Structure 1
Amino acid sequence: MSLGLAVPFTDPAALVAWARRADAGPYGRIGVPDRIVYDNPEPMVMLAAMAAVTERIRVQSEVVLAPLRDPVLLAKQSATLDRLSGGRFALGLAVGAREDDFLAVGADHASRGRRMDEQLATMRRVWAGEPVAPGLGPVGPVPLRAGGPELLFGGFAPRALARVARWGGGYVCPAPPEHAGGLFELVRRQWKDAGRPGEPLLVAQVNVALGPEPTVAESREALLRYYGFAPEPAARSVAAMATTAAGIRDAVAAYRDLGAHEVMLSCWSDDVAQIDRLADLLS
């Protein structure tokens, strides 16, 4: 099982330093989250900067809210990142939950699941070099990876998880270990029922903060602020955050026991030294 990092909501220039530092360590991926109505960098732009300053680590959207975006443009951006990174780009997608993001870009919140399914079909056509409308030429560049970038999906609902088997290669699970096992099993079963060979990539996420008290306090405040629209889930997320060496090791071990192939350590503090602390702790 490998480890990845999901970066905090912080200044874009600082996240370039996160990418360089993570590239030198044991991590397999570095992930960038997505919001519209929030003080965070646009993920596709941020990932391009990260890909440009790294050589080894995979760069991943963690996750892009697809229904907020035009599918042809998103496919073109993704193919460009795939080429720019030398095939190290993974496109993580989800439908999104916060209505304010949809209002900000004039997208319909109620139909977001149906829209995402339509988007995926369009993006596959773009990556295959097929015209998206009669009389039009192909939309390039051609992805370096045949069929398009590695495609992962996040979510909880069975319909959301079914997209893994239908369209993608893996599942990004934001649930704690006590709930992740059932979600992993459903993804595996849907994968098998769809006749897909092998098995889906299972990626778990755990919120962490490792360092002095200001780092932990900043992480808790950031997590509460991010989930402020839902106070009860926010409080549960803060309570479940792993903030000790033993807690982080136990969380990673629990996901390993459930069959996760990777665990993304989601950092919420700007303290970039966490990269080395976590690496030393889990090496």
Structure 2
Amino acid sequence: MTLPVMEPDLDAAVLKEWARVVDDGPFSSLCWGERIAFGNPDSLTLLGALAAWTDRVRLVTTVIVPQLHDPVMLAKGLATGDMLSGGRLTVGIGVGGRQEDYDAVGADMASQTMRGMAERVAIMKRVWAGEKVTESVLPVGPSPVQPGGPPLMVGTIGPKTVRSAATWADGMAGTTLDLDVTKQNELFDVARTAWSEAGKPKPHLATSFWFAMGEGDGPRAQMHRHLRRYMNWIPAEFVDAMAPTTGWAGGEDELHDVLRTFEAIGTDEIHLIPTSSDIDQLRRVADVAKDFA
């Protein structure tokens, strides 16, 4: 389950309640995304809070963009989160899709490539291995609880990105806009093949989609409002055109059937993305998710 970090008017009470309900089960992971030029919480600050608010669930960044951070400081922050959570951190990373976020922190848009991300991952892994990255007296710490650092998931919707990440990632944390299971399985097959050719164990296969729980026309209208707000870098008429077929909207039985179709193609996890901060929607999804725990 993803926290509603992109929703308006959030406060600590809302985020804490969501985190604790997710931690109570039956969810396997608690996720949150990153943007800079937006009203969402800072990813690393939130990681610290979630480490304190939860005890069981894995904490997954979906995704954080290394090119928007100094790689040594990012490695230090993530290692701290892994330590505070007792080794429950998984790091989903991606190149990011918004120039305004790069501009906001003075990052070079030329680094918005898989090569730029891989170079930063290599530095982060050196930090997590306890290597000195400068001539300092001591290496950068703390050491992560998980040997070698948290598992890394590449955030992607394209086969080229999947193939290029096979050498350093432990799996993929993709997304599907239209819930096309056949296309998703084709991408999973790309990952399975790439990991095998790299001589690595089979990848952790995760995908995500937006959801809105309810009956009638209300859920689809909720989805539309969320997309209009979140996709604010896309012309509104384009968002309006895609809104009727983006994400999933409906009731418990329908969601159960959708999850079964993804289970059938070997999906290890689905990171559901809320389009409302209404805690009732989370509880309704929990009633469905318990059948998959």
What is the TM-score normalised by the length of structure 2? 0.88
The question of 1:30 aligning with 2:30 is answered: yes
- Written as runs of structure 1 = structure 2, the 5 A alignment for 1:190-201 is 190-197=194-201, 199-201=202-204
Question: Hey, what does 2:4 align to over in structure 1?
Answer: 7
Of the candidates 205, 217, 239, which is equivalent to residue 245 of structure 2? 239
Q: How far 1:95 sits from its partner (Å)? A: 0.4
**What is the rounded CA distance, in whole Å, between the counterparts of 1:237 and 1:250 in structure 2?**
21
Q: How far 1:163 sits from its partner (Å)? A: 4.7
Question: Hey, what does 1:221 align to over in structure 2?
Answer: 225
Q: How far 1:158 sits from its partner (Å)? A: 3.5
- Written as runs of structure 1 = structure 2, the 5 A alignment for 1:1-283 is 4-10=1-7, 11-13=10-12, 14-113=14-113, 114-175=115-176, 176=179, 177-197=181-201, 199-211=202-214, 217-231=221-235, 232=238, 235-245=241-251, 246-283=253-290
SS at match of 1:264: strand
Instruction: Report if the CA contact (8 A) 1:80-1:141 is conserved.
Output: yes
Residue identity matched to 1:257: A
Instruction: Report if the CA contact (8 A) 2:219-2:249 is conserved.
Output: no
Q: How far 1:214 sits from its partner (Å)? A: 5.8
C-alpha distance after superposition, 1:6-62 (max 9, x if no partner): 434241411111101111120011101100011111112112111201111111111
* Greater displacement, 252-261 / 85-94: 252-261
Name the CA shift for 1:59/1:12 in 2 (closer, same or farther; >3 Å): farther
**What is the rounded CA distance, in whole Å, between the counterparts of 2:223 and 2:137 in structure 1?**
48
Q: How far 1:205 sits from its partner (Å)? A: 0.6
Identity of aligned residues (%): 36
Instruction: Report if the CA contact (8 A) 1:184-1:202 is conserved.
Output: yes
C-alpha distance after superposition, 1:215-238 (max 9, x if no partner): 653442112221232343664255
**What is the rounded CA distance, in whole Å, between the counterparts of 1:72 and 1:163 in structure 2?**
22
* Greater displacement, 169-178 / 6-15: 6-15
Which runs of 5 or more structure 2 residues have no equivalent in the other structure?
none
Q: How far 1:119 sits from its partner (Å)? A: 0.4
SS at match of 2:279: coil
C-alpha distance after superposition, 1:87-139 (max 9, x if no partner): 11111100001111111111112322232111011001000000112355300
**What is the rounded CA distance, in whole Å, between the counterparts of 1:47 and 1:237 in structure 2?**
31
**What is the rounded CA distance, in whole Å, between the counterparts of 2:160 and 2:107 in structure 1?**
20
Q: How far 1:66 sits from its partner (Å)? A: 1.3
Instruction: Report if the CA contact (8 A) 2:5-2:41 is conserved.
Output: no
Instruction: Report if the CA contact (8 A) 1:8-1:266 is conserved.
Output: no
Question: Over aligned residue pairs, what C-alpha RMSD do you find?
Answer: 2.0
SS at match of 1:205: strand
Residue identity matched to 1:183: L
Instruction: Report if the CA contact (8 A) 1:228-1:234 is conserved.
Output: no
C-alpha distance after superposition, 1:118-165 (max 9, x if no partner): 101100100000011235530000110000012111013344213542
* Greater displacement, 155-164 / 269-278: 155-164
Name the CA shift for 1:50/1:280 in 2 (closer, same or farther; >3 Å): same
**What is the rounded CA distance, in whole Å, between the counterparts of 2:143 and 2:70 in structure 1?**
18
SS at match of 1:152: strand
Instruction: Report if the CA contact (8 A) 2:154-2:169 is conserved.
Output: yes
Instruction: Report if the CA contact (8 A) 1:204-1:255 is conserved.
Output: no
Residue identity matched to 1:142: S
C-alpha distance after superposition, 1:185-218 (max 9, x if no partner): 1111110000013x11001112111136666534
Instruction: Report if the CA contact (8 A) 1:170-1:200 is conserved.
Output: yes
